[in-house]
Structures are given as structure tokens and as C-alpha cells.
Structure 1
Amino acid sequence: MNERQVLSHRPSYINAILIQSRGRPEVQACIACRSGPGLHPFPECRRLPGHFGGACGNCKWRDHASRCSVRDDEDVVEVIDVLDSDNEGGNGGPRVITDGSTPASALLVRAGRLGSLCTTPRQGLHLYVGV
């Protein structure tokens, strides 16, 4: 990893840095991380379960998150409580809030309602569960 790469603001680089700085070390490193020194930018295999499909930072860096061998299982679900009281949507309809990975996996939240967001990271699906 070098300064030019980080300053490029490439999404996979930024997300990989996020994973490495906030994630937890994997007990059993993924296949790519075990492949040898110098082939990946980070010294250890770290991941954020429930985010970016559970891929490690080294795989995310190269945009190989879907190939990472330590990804989340299909049945992993993360639940996040949400309170949106400012009603910026104006009409009380759903608002789109991106989850930090891609605009394609946006979260839909009904303004002014308390509920939970359930994510199935492997498939990239994000569902609103109202109360």
C-alpha cells in the first residue's frame, strides 16, 4: 500500500482500510491472506462481520470480496435499530440511506418511524422491518 493508492479514494481501498481499522482479527486467516507476505497490503486477516459481506480487508482491497474464504454465512443477519425523527423526506415516504458499501445495496427507511434494519450481507439485501 502506498500514499498514491490511498489518495486515489478508490472505494475498495477506503472500505478495506475501514475493515482493517475497525474489524476483528480472524482466528483462521482466509486463503488469500495465507498465500504469503507481500501479496496483500495488510499484515493480518481482519474482517467486520455483517459488513461488506464479511470479507477481510485484504480481499476487499483488491476488489475480491466475493472470493474471500472467510465471508459471512448466508444465514448471518445483523439487526440495527433506527430512529429517524427529522422527516427530511418531506412527504413521509421512504428515504434512501446508503450503507457505506455501494449505492446498489441502499437501505430504505420510513421517516419518523422506529424499526429495525435487517441485513443479509452475503446477498446484499437490506430490509426495513416496521413496528
Structure 2
Amino acid sequence: MLLPGPISTQTSPHRTSPPPQLTTPHPSSIPHYNLTMGGGGKIPYPKHVWSPAGGWYSQPSNWRANTLVMVGVIATCAAFAWKVSAERERRYVMPDPDRFYPSRWWTRQIREYEQARREEAK
């Protein structure tokens, strides 16, 4: 039992031996470890495994072509979504004629509205 108070002369009853000492040196202090660090060579891995991130050691030789193909696919999808969005956009309040609205270049409803206003003005 420990004595109450700030200083105790007794040791803990739970500690039966001194703490273990580090007997092996740190790996970076051994010269031959510095030469072999880095995990070694490639390990055998299953070739049939596929993952979206590329799997083991992903760096295909045609990565530039793959990247261009994906940029084209993404651009095509974005253009299609832009076109559908512009066709389906509805405005209940038309923009002021003297203010800048970029959507007036691609929104069919605004273009038809402004064309009708120009024809009425003639």
C-alpha cells in the first residue's frame, strides 16, 4: 500500500520488474539498413484484380491516351448536360435589356423573347 501524501518511499505493488531496455539499435544507425530501405522490389500480385484507383503498381504505358479519352468523355457529358439545361431553363422574369446576363447567349427562352421584342420595335 502506498502512503498518502506527496512523497512516497514505497514502490508500486503492480511493478514487478524494471521497464524493458531497448537492446537493438535504431535501424537508421545500422549502415546496411540504409542501403536496403524502401521495401525492396515488387512483390507478386494477382493480375486479374481491377480497381478504379488502378490496383497494384498502376502506371500504364498509355496513360496519356487514357487521360485524353477521359477528358473527351467528361467534356462530352458536360456539353450534353449544358445543352439539356439550357433547353429546359425557364425564366418567369426576363432580364433587363441593359444588364449583362451570360445565359442570354444560350437560353432559348431569352433569345426568343429578345427576338420578339426586336420585331415589335421595327
With the length of structure 1 as denominator, give the TM-score of the two structures: 0.18
More relative contact order, 1 or 2 (CA 8 Å, 6+ apart): 1
Q: Where is the helix percentage greater, Structure 1 or Structure 2?
A: 2
Structure with more of its chain in strand, by fraction: 1
TM-score (norm 2): 0.19
